[in-house]
Amino acid sequence: MLKIEQVAVAYGAIDALHGISLQVGQGEVVALLGANGAGKTTLLRTISGLLRPKAGEIRFEGEALGRSSAESRVKRGIAHVPEGRRIFPGLTVMENLDVATTIWRRRGMSSAEDLATVFALFPRLQERAGQLGWSLSGGEQQMLAIGRALMARPKMLLLDEPSLGLAPRLSEEVYRRIADINAKGVTVLLVEQNTVLALEVAHRAYVIENGHIVLEGPARELARHPRVREAYLGA
Ligand code: ATP
């Protein structure tokens, strides 16, 4: 579904990604693992069109994304939930979800149906529909950020550190919902520092170090790999 070939990205004179190649198949959950500053966020931002690669190509469903805008990529079915759950703090839960709907209504889609899907996944959001964004707990804000992305009916969800700053119980809950979303047919590419959790939910994973992919494989195999155990699982 997603094919990244030799993608290089730089911030001015500083190279962040050096010829990254990876693939995500339809229906997969794929995790990108790596330390702070390895380039994981840069890669997600490049896929969603927020950054331009200086070399290489990204194909989605067989078509080169080229220099297409972030907005056009959302329309093609790629939705990005950025790190730090950028919800609108001064808007209610419902208004946060409506912001997405306003964009999608142009496509003549029924937003009521999308809302029902989001509330079925995250009943807490329905309970708190009238509550302002800032007053939600960290876990609820993460669920709202994911819910808002789902309003776009994505084929592929890009998730940047969905467990960041959450207590273990909430992180597990967010990951259970990610598995539910995947079970409904949405392909997932996620960046995660919580390697244990990511490898439990992902089918496959890639490890990025200093802008290079250094390891890849089925999640179960990577969880047993000495380099992963030592560097990311504290074994
Ligand atoms: P983190 O988990 O900390 O976000 P990451 O793996 O997502 O780490 P990136 O944020 O993609 O890493 O950063 C990759 C490299 O690019 C780092 O060396 C970082 O310092 C650099 N970098 C990131 N954003 C910028 C920027 N806006 N300008 C210059 N350099 C940047």
Residue 210: what pLDDT? 94
Does ligand 1 lie within 6 Å of residue 67's CB atom? no
Phi, psi of 92 (to 5 degrees): -75, 170
Separation of alpha carbons 150 and 145, rounded Å: 9
Angle of the 138-150 helix axis to the 111-121 helix axis, nearest 10: 150
Query: How far does residue 162's CA lie from ligand 1's centre (Å)?
Result: 17
Tokens of 27: 């229906």
Tokens of 191: 């960046």
Separation of alpha carbons 13 and 129, rounded Å: 45
Residue 228: what pLDDT? 87
Q: What is the mean pLDDT of each run of 10 residues along the chain (235 residues)?
A: 97 95 98 93 97 97 94 93 88 89 60 88 94 93 94 94 91 94 97 93 96 96 90 76
Query: How far does residue 148's CA lie from ligand 1's centre (Å)?
Result: 25
Among 7, 18, 41, say which to mutate for ligand 1: greatest number of ligand atoms within 8 Å of CB. 41
Give 155-189 pLDDT, tens digit per residue: 999 999 999 989 999 999 999 999 999 999 999 99
Q: Structure pTM?
A: 0.93
Residue 235: what pLDDT? 62
Query: How far does residue 51's CA lie from ligand 1's centre (Å)?
Result: 12
Q: Domains of the chain by range and CATH?
A: 2-232 (3.40.50.300)
Phi, psi of 36 (to 5 degrees): -55, 135
Query: How far does residue 57's CA lie from ligand 1's centre (Å)?
Result: 20
Residue 216: what pLDDT? 96
Residue 109: what pLDDT? 57
Residue 230: what pLDDT? 86
Separation of alpha carbons 190 and 198, rounded Å: 8
Query: How far does residue 211's CA lie from ligand 1's centre (Å)?
Result: 10
Does ligand 1 lie within 6 Å of residue 204's CB atom? no
Residue 89: what pLDDT? 92
Residue 119: what pLDDT? 95
Ligand 1 nearest atom to the CA of residue 38, by list position: 6
Residue 88: what pLDDT? 92
* Number of other residues whose CB lies within 10 A of the CB of residue 107: 9
* Number of other residues whose CB lies within 10 A of the CB of residue 70: 14
Q: Residue with the nearest Cα to atom 11 of ligand 1?
A: 39
> Residue 223 to residues 4, 37, 168, 190, 199: CA-CA distances in angstroms?
24, 21, 19, 16, 7
